[in-house]
Amino acid sequence: MSKLGLAIAITAEAFKDKTDKGGAPYILHCLFVMDNTDGDECTKCAAVMHDLVEDCSDKYNFNLLSKMGFSEKTIGLLYLVTHREGTPYMDYIKALSVDQDAKKIKRADLRHNTDITRLKGLRKKDHERMEKYHTAWVYLSD
């Protein structure tokens, strides 16, 4: 199995019972980010797994993914795009902005996360999240 196939398979398994805010299978979000990120196989692997360590840290971490054979580039990108608890959001955005591939992944993630047609309705906290994501989008735009 290719590394990209493995990345898709473990992400699908990790999120098999999870849905997004609109009720769709969460894996579709991960696949959207991958499909909307230009780059080589390492970048595509990081794109599809962009939420894996952040949301499934009880099962997946950088060390395990490295032992599974993912490249240093993939692990490095995952490290950059993983928002760690306790890190202010804009500090996280500024830190990942040092790498063009990490920026591509995060912009694809933000593009999908700000698509209001994916939501069942808009509440105040959705508007606040959209504002935060828009600020990040502007910062990451060249």
User: Is domain 3-140 classified as CATH 1.10.3210.10?
Assistant: yes
- Which pLDDT tens digit goes with each residue over 72-98? 999 999 999 999 999 999 999 999 999
pLDDT at 142 over 80: no
Q: Is the dihedral of CA 92, 127, 14, 104 positive or negative?
A: negative
Among the residue ranges 4-13, 38-47, 63-72, 131-140, the one predicted with the least confidence is 131-140
Tokens of 39: 């780059």
Q: What is the mean pLDDT of residues 92-113?
A: 94
What is the tens place of the pLDDT at every residue in 16-58?
999 987 788 999 999 999 999 999 999 999 999 999 999 999 9
**CA separation, residue 137 to residues 12, 25, 68, 77, 125 (Å):** 27, 24, 32, 18, 18
Q: What is the dihedral of CA 35, 102, 88, 16, to 10 degrees?
A: 30
